[in-house]
């Protein structure tokens, strides 16, 4: 369940832990991860649309 919590935090679906002290590099990493997840989801949507359009 830890991975699902992180994904929810990246996509702003869940609030981050207020006790955690973020560093600048951690902010960059989370930003890149957020972009990667969003691009992956866009790719999945495009593939699904192409599959449904074929039939």
Please write the tens of the pLDDT for every residue from 23-55. 788 788 888 988 998 999 999 999 999 999 986
- How much is the pLDDT for 49? 96
State how far the Cα of 7 lies from the Cα of 37, in Å rounded to an integer.
8
Q: Are 40 and 13 in contact (CB under 8 A)?
A: no
Q: What is the pTM of this model?
A: 0.58
The set of residues, in sequence order, having a beta carbon less than 8 Å from that of 34 and lying 6+ positions away, is 10, 11
Do 23 and 50 contact (CB within 8 A), yes or no? no
Q: Identify the band that residue 17 occupies on the pLDDT scale cut at 50, 70 and 90.
A: low
């Amino acid at each position: 369940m830890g991975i699902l919590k992180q994904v929810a935090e990246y996509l702003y679906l869940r609030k981050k832990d207020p006790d955690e002290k973020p560093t600048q590099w951690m902010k960059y990493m989370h930003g890149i991860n957020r972009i990667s997840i969003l691009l992956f989801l866009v790719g999945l949507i495009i593939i699904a649309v192409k599959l449904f359009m074929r039939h």
